[in-house]
Amino acid sequence: MSTKVLAIDDSRTIRNLLRVSLEGAGFDFYDACDGEEGVERFPEVDPDVVITDINMPKLDGFGVIDALRSGPNRTHVPILVLTTESSDDLKARARDAGATGWIVKPFDDDSLVSVLRRLTGHVA
């Protein structure tokens, strides 16, 4: 059974880049175009890891993390933040909210795949 990744990002380009990279590495890829859709899709996808942007319409990444860590979908699934933001304050805020890690865009395919494999135990 493949490892399922739910990527939440309002950029179609980023979602497509993630799809190519992660499916090529053997992950099952699911996506959502904003935080609200991502939280709604979470139970149906039942992912092994979530990747979320911070700056999105409807519900930002902090809202996603909060909803997944404390709402009806309460989960301990790893949540990676993938964003152009890099301030220490935002990283601390995400960590305090329950994010597992932080990756700055643009991302390196091999590094992202390596992090996901470590977090999920996925072996290609």
3-state secondary structure 13-39: HHHHHHHHHHHHCCCEEEEECCHHHHH
pLDDT in tens, 102-116: 999 988 999 999 999
What total of structural domains would you count in the chain? 1
Q: What pTM did the predictor assign?
A: 0.94
What domain range includes position 43?
Answer: 4-120
Please report the pLDDT score of residue 123 as a whole number.
65
pLDDT in tens, 15-61: 999 999 999 999 999 999 999 999 999 999 999 999 999 999 999 99
Please report the pLDDT score of residue 110 as a whole number.
93
CATH of the domain at 39: 3.40.50.2300
Q: Is residue 82 helix, strand or coil?
A: strand
Q: Is the pLDDT confidence value at 71 over 80? A: no
